[in-house]
């Protein structure tokens, strides 16, 4: 076992995928000598060459559009979008082309692409560097969307995403890149499916669902709640499309209460979909309405006030209190 | 001295610089100017292009069969196009984008491709599809609404029609990058070296994706030929409102050559495209071809060009018709006679019948098939909705 951060774990996963399959290439801005602005691709160009770790001109639609062409030629491109807020110039290529090409071709074409996006706030950044735009892509049929929350998942999920024949938007929790955890870098098979939710912490009173950077917030909240005698079950959704509702519903049927958390604004966010789906599926088990704890429905604010915008431990516990008040 | 007095000469200099840049202004009824590569005049006279004798040499290598083939392809695809337009008018197609007037640009460029080359079309490249061997009925399927593109792109190395303007130019560059990674460029092996041709129109040159594709192609030195059919109109926007300089001159700013060819001259289009594809295959990188042509019909069957252009313009371009000029040349040079032209007409009539009957008998897809092919691997939401749809549909069976 090695103790590595999420960023290093993804780097190790990328390396392993590139060793395994010569068709795997990485494309993006500043990913070569610099190793990416977050150093996630560090040393990969040195070891695999400029042909396979391709520094692209500074144009996101161009990165995704040319990656589509590479995929059509039989490659498995991994695209790095430098920051969440910079994916929008590629939005048309992702939603009109990547997502639809297989259906358009009646199944003749597959586009095995991974679009990596560092996501979320909490790093004191300037505008456009702290966004959570997963709902746009989860809303788009033809794409799969996953979000890792810890180093072991980061290491395996990136490899599984690369092996998938479907295009996948892969969210990386940027404020957690350096948070370390145990990863067995010598293991030969993934501990679980890419699209499976997990119980990050078992509990009895309230289910709290999270993904990406919010999982740690919720785990910390569960520790505090436990000290106050409240038992929170934390579900790490891991996959946003498809959603693993089975694991979530099983938990809610046990606890009778659900709080959904994310950094993204709540209006039409993942929490809205989850609340609707769980209300329908677990109607007779629910003791309270599904509570959403998320970002406010605003443009992401200046970083000096982002801590008031982002759901933190106290806001998660406040959501838990509201669920338990019924 | 006041600020104004200092500023005046700068303004004058700027105005002079702009004037120098913008001459000659492109015009929708222009003849393409002195830079135009033309090997066959509108009257059907075979001419050479001063400064580029290699283009004539390429044409001289063609057999009479080749030249007749250029004619046949154009006549047949024009007939398919006319039949499709009629089918739309009769309610059998939702819409049709006519290629009328652009037959030479499409047939000439497609004929210059090798089997291993790859073409990325817009939604109007019926002539390219024809030459690549795509069944025209498959093209109609998209416009009839029975599918979104019914052919296997890898069967003919002809990608699906792309409707979002310019998006396919990036796919073309990426595919060309893949060719480079496969070491299938510059080896000297004529069966191995490959290149890509990206089709787009004058309107698309305003798109970010097209400009990004130029940047990427130059940066990567990708084996791609950008084939712009300047048909003078982006729906209702004339080309002179789209650009200050002739479109082929834009290539220079991106760092690769651009050439303007008479898009209604199938011989010139063939020769220029062949040279550009050869250069790309040999590792010399991208090139832009502006095929100077005219959209004789409407943008699509939903359009009414009488609202924005005068019929006198169309009359000017009728005199430059691509098929008439080749027919005149074949006749005057003795390469084909009336019996040949008559035989092609008979073939075109038969093809029209095939297209009509094939269109009318094209089955609607099974409704449940819309759940197919969204993903490669099973997706629980799609499967749940497929099952729900089946149950919902079944609930009506025998009950109404």
- Locate B100 and state its tokens: 């009328």
pLDDT digits (tens, 9 = 90+) for A256-283: 999 999 999 999 999 999 999 999 999 9
Question: How far is it, in rounded angstroms, from Cα B336 to Cα B328?
Answer: 10
Query: Are residues A140 and A223 located together in one domain of the fold?
Result: no
Residue that is written with structure tokens 């073939």 in the block: B347
- Crossing angle (nearest 10°) for helices A245-255 and A270-281: 60
Are residues A245 and A320 located together in one domain of the fold?
yes
Q: What is the pLDDT of residue B3?
A: 53
pLDDT at A97 over 90: yes
- Place B399 in a pLDDT band, splitting at 50, 70 and 90: low
Pick the CATH number of B24-360 from 3.40.50.300, 3.10.580.10, 3.40.50.970, 3.30.70.270: 3.40.50.970
Query: Are residue A286 and residue A262 in the same domain, yes or no?
Result: yes
Is the domain of A204 the same as that of A88?
no
Same domain for A292 and A242: yes
> Among B188, B194, B202, which Cα is nearest to B172's?
B194
Residues A51, A156, single domain; the answer is yes
Conformation bin of residue B186: beta by default, left when phi > 0, alpha when psi is -120 to 50? left
Mean pLDDT across chain A? 97
Give the Cα separation of A206 and B174 in Å (integer): 49
| Residue A129 annotated as catalytic | yes
Best of A55, A57, A65, A109 to mutate (most B CBs within 10 Å, chain B): A65
Give CA B330 to chain center in angstroms: 25
Helix (H, G, I), strand (E, B) or coil at A260: strand
* Interface touch A65/B212, C-beta < 8 Å: yes
Question: Chain B: nearest CA to A67, how far in angstroms?
Answer: 6
pTM beyond 0.90: the answer is yes
B359 touches chain A (CB under 8 A): no
CATH of the domain at A166: 3.40.50.970
Residue A248, domain CATH: 3.40.50.920
Do A25 and A169 have their domain in common? Answer: yes
Question: Of A128, A129, A139, A262, which residue is the catalytic one?
Answer: A129
What sign has the CA pseudo-torsion B306, B307, B312, B313? negative
Q: Which residues are registered as beta bridge partners of B291?
A: B229, B261
Q: Per the residue annotation, which of B308, B375, B379, B392 is the catalytic one? A: B308
How many beta-carbon pairs below 8 A join chains A and B? 140
pLDDT of B5 above 60? no
Last residue of a domain, one of A123, A149, A183: A183
Chain centroid to CA A274: how far?
16
pLDDT band at B28 (very low <50, low <70, confident <90, very high): confident
pLDDT of residue B26 exceeding 70: no
Eight-class DSSP state of A283: G
**Is A189 within the bounds of a domain?**
no
Domain with A224 in it: 198-324
Number of domains in chain A: 2
What's the mean pLDDT in B79-85? 98
- B271, B279 contact by CB (below 8 A): no
Whether A230 is covered by a domain: the verdict is yes
Please report the pLDDT score of residue B168 as a whole number. Answer: 98
DSSP string of A78-107, one letter each residue:
EEE-SSGGG-GGGHHIIIIIITTHHHHTTT
Check A57 against B182: CB less than 8 A apart.
no
**Cβ(B359)–Cβ(B137) under 8 Å?**
yes
Identify whether residues A157 and A246 lie together within a single domain.
no
Cβ separation A72–B148 shorter than 8 A: no
B178 shares contact with chain A (CB less than 8 Å): yes
Q: What is the pLDDT of residues B159-193, one digit of tens each?
A: 999 999 999 999 999 999 999 999 999 999 999 99
- Residues A33, A161 within the same domain: yes
Report CA Rg, chain A: 19
Within a domain: A266: yes
B296-325 pLDDT tens trace: 999 999 999 999 999 998 999 999 999 999
DSSP for B197-238 reads EEEEETGGGGSHHHHHHHHHHHHHT--EEEEEEE-SEETTEE
Q: What is the pLDDT of residue A268?
A: 98
Contacts of A105 in chain B (CB under 8 A): 149, 152-153, 160, 373
pLDDT at B1 (0 to 100) = 45
What single-letter DSSP state applies at residue A196?
-
pLDDT tens digit sequence for A177-216: 999 999 999 999 999 999 999 999 999 999 999 999 999 9
Tens digits of residue pLDDT in B31-73 = 888 889 999 999 999 999 988 999 999 999 999 999 999 999 9
pLDDT of residue B25: 57
Q: Tell whether A164 and A207 lie within a shared domain.
A: no
């Amino acid at each position: 076992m090695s103790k590595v951060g999420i960023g290093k774990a993804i780097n190790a996963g990328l390396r392993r995928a590139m060793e395994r399959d010569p068709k795997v290439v990485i494309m993006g801005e500043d990913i070569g000598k610099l190793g990416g602005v977050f150093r996630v691709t560090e040393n990969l160009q040195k070891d695999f060459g400029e042909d396979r770790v391709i520094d692209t001109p500074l144009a996101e639609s161009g990165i995704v559009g040319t990656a589509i062409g590479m995929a059509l030629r039989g490659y498995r491109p991994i695209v790095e979008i430098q920051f969440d807020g910079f994916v929008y110039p590629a939005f048309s290529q992702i939603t009109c082309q990547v997502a639809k090409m297989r259906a358009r071709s009646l199944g003749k074409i597959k586009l095995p692409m991974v679009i990596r996006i560092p996501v979320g706030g909490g790093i004191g950044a300037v505008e456009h560097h702290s966004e959570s735009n997963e709902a746009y892509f989860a809303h788009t049929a033809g794409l799969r969307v996953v979000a890792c929350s810890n180093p072991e998942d980061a290491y395996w999920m990136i490899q599984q995403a690369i092996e998938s024949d479907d295009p996948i938007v892969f969210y990386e929790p940027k404020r957690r890149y350096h948070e370390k955890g145990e990863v067995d870098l010598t293991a030969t098979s993934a501990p679980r499916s890419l699209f499976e939710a997990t119980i990050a912490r078992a509990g009895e009173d309230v289910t709290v669902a999270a993904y990406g950077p919010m999982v740690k917030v919720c785990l910390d909240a569960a520790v505090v709640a436990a000290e106050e005698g409240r038992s929170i079950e934390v579900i790490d959704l891991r996959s946003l499309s498809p959603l693993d509702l089975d694991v979530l519903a099983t938990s809610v049927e046990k606890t009778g209460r659900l709080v959904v958390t994310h950094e993204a604004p709540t209006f039409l966010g993942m929490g809205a979909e989850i609340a609707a789906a769980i209300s329908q599926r677990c109607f007779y088990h629910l003791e309270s309405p599904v509570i959403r704890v998320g970002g406010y429905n605003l443009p992401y604010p200046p970083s000096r006030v982002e801590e008031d915008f982002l759901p933190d431990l106290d806001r998660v516990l406040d959501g838990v209190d509201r669920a338990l008040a019924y | 001295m006041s600020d104004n007095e200092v500023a005046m000469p700068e303004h004058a200099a700027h105005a002079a610089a702009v004037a120098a840049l913008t001459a000659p202004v492109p015009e929708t009824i222009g003849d393409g100017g002195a830079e135009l590569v033309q090997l066959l005049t509108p009257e059907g006279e075979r001419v050479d292009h001063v400064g580029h004798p290699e283009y004539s040499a390429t044409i001289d290598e063609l057999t009479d069969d080749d030249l007749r083939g250029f004619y046949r392809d154009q006549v047949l695809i024009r007939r398919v196009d006319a039949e499709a337009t009629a089918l739309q008018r009769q309610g059998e197609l939702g819409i049709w984008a006519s290629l009328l007037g652009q037959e030479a640009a499409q047939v000439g460029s497609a004929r210059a491709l090798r089997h291993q080359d790859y073409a990325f079309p817009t939604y109007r490249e019926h002539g390219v599809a024809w030459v690549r061997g795509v069944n025209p009925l498959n093209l109609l399927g998209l416009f009839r609404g029975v599918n979104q593109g019914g052919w296997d792109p890898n069967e003919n190395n002809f990608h699906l029609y792309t409707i979002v303007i310019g998006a396919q130019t990036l796919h073309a560059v990426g595919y060309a990058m893949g060719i480079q990674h496969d070491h299938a460029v510059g080896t000297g092996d004529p069966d191995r070296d490959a290149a890509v041709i990206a089709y787009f129109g004058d309107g698309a040159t305003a798109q970010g994706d097209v400009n990004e594709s130029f940047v990427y192609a130059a940066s990567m030195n990708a084996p791609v030929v950008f084939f712009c059919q300047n048909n003078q109109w982006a729906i209702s926007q004339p080309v002179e409102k789209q650009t200050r300089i002739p479109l082929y001159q834009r290539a220079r700013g991106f760092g690769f050559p651009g050439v303007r060819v008479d898009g209604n001259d199938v011989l010139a289009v063939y020769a220029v495209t062949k040279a550009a594809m050869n250069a790309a295959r040999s590792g010399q990188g991208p090139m832009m071809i502006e095929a100077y042509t005219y959209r004789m019909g409407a943008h699509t069957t939903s359009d009414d060009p009488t609202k924005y252009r005068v019929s006198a313009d169309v009359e000017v371009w009728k005199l430059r018709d691509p098929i008439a000029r080749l027919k005149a040349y074949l006749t005057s040079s003795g390469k084909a006679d009336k019996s040949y032209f008559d035989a092609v007409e008979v073939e075109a009539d038969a093809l029209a019948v095939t297209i009509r009957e094939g269109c009318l008998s094209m089955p609607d897809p099974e409704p449940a098939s819309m759940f197919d092919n969204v993903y490669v691997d099973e997706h629980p939401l799609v499967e749940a909705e497929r099952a729900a749809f089946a149950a919902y549909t079944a609930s009506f069976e025998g009950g109404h």
